Amino acid sequence: MKAIIEKANVLIEALPYIRNFYGKTFVIKYGGAAMVDEKLKDAFAQDIVLLNLIGIKPVIVHGGGPKINKIMEKMGKKPTFVRGQRFTDSETIDIVEMVLGGLVNKQIVSLINSHGGRAIGLSGKDGGLLKARRKVMRKRSAAAGTPEIIDLGLVGDVEKVRPQIIHSVEKDGFIPVIAPISAGKKNETLNINADYVAGAVASALSAEKLILLTDTKGIVDKKKKLISTLGKTKIRSHISKNIISGGMIPKVEACQTALKGGVKKTHIIDGRVPHVLLLEIFTEKGIGTEIVK
Ligand SMILES: Nc1ncnc2c1ncn2[C@@H]1O[C@H](COP(=O)(O)OP(=O)(O)OP(=O)(O)O)[C@@H](O)[C@H]1O
Ligand SMILES: [Mg+2]
| Whole-number Å distance between alpha carbons of 213 and 123 | 20
3-state SS class at 79: coil
Question: Domain of 85?
Answer: 21-288
**What is the total count of domains within the chain?**
1
| Whole-number Å distance between alpha carbons of 81 and 54 | 42
Tell whether 15 is covered by a domain.
Answer: no
**pLDDT confidence of residue 5:** 93
Better-predicted residue by pLDDT, 2 or 18: 18
Angle (CA) 268-34-43 rounded to 5° is: 105
- Cβ contact 252:220 at 8 Å: no
Distance 215 CA to ligand 1 centre (A): 7
Tell whether 13 is covered by a domain.
Answer: no
Tell whether 228 is covered by a domain.
Answer: yes
Mean of pLDDT values over 233-244: 96
Tell whether 9 is covered by a domain.
Answer: no
Which atom of ligand 1 approaches the CA of 220 most closely?
A: 3
pLDDT at 265 over 80: yes
Q: Which ligand is nearest to the CA of 29?
A: 1
Mean of pLDDT values over 43-62: 98
- Cβ contact 254:212 at 8 Å: yes
Tell whether 168 is covered by a domain.
Answer: yes
| Whole-number Å distance between alpha carbons of 153 and 159 | 17
Distance 172 CA to ligand 2 centre (A): 31
Q: Which residues line ligand 1 (CB under 6 A)?
A: 31-32, 63, 65, 194, 214-216, 219-220, 243-248
Distance 217 CA to ligand 1 centre (A): 10
Tell whether 59 is covered by a domain.
Answer: yes
For residue 148, name the pLDDT band (cuts at 50, 70, 90): confident
CA dihedral 180, 245, 44, 10 (to 10 degrees): -140
Burial of 171 by CB count in 10 Å (0-12 exposed, 13-18 middle, 19+ buried)? Answer: exposed
What CATH number has the domain bearing residue 113? 3.40.1160.10
Closest by alpha carbon to 214, among 35, 56, 26, 27? Answer: 35
Tell whether 1 is covered by a domain.
Answer: no
**What distance separates the 2 farthest-apart alpha carbons in the chain?**
76
| Average pLDDT value for the chain | 94
pLDDT at 92 over 90: yes
Phi-psi region of 86 (alpha: psi -120 to 50; beta: other; left: phi over 0): beta
3-state SS class at 136: coil
**pLDDT confidence of residue 65:** 73
**pLDDT confidence of residue 202:** 98
**pLDDT confidence of residue 2:** 87
Query: What pLDDT, in 10s, does the model give residues 156-212?
Result: 999 999 999 999 999 999 999 999 999 999 999 999 999 999 999 999 999 999 999
pTM over 0.75: yes
- Cβ contact 94:68 at 8 Å: no
For residue 147, name the pLDDT band (cuts at 50, 70, 90): confident
Tell whether 4 is covered by a domain.
Answer: no
Strands 25-30 vs 57-62: parallel, antiparallel or unpaired: parallel
**pLDDT confidence of residue 53:** 97
Which atom of ligand 1 approaches the CA of 243 most closely?
A: 1
Supply the residue whose CA is at minimum distance from atom 9 of ligand 1: 245
Strands 85-86 vs 81-82: parallel, antiparallel or unpaired: antiparallel
Closest by alpha carbon to 80, among 189, 153, 184? Answer: 153
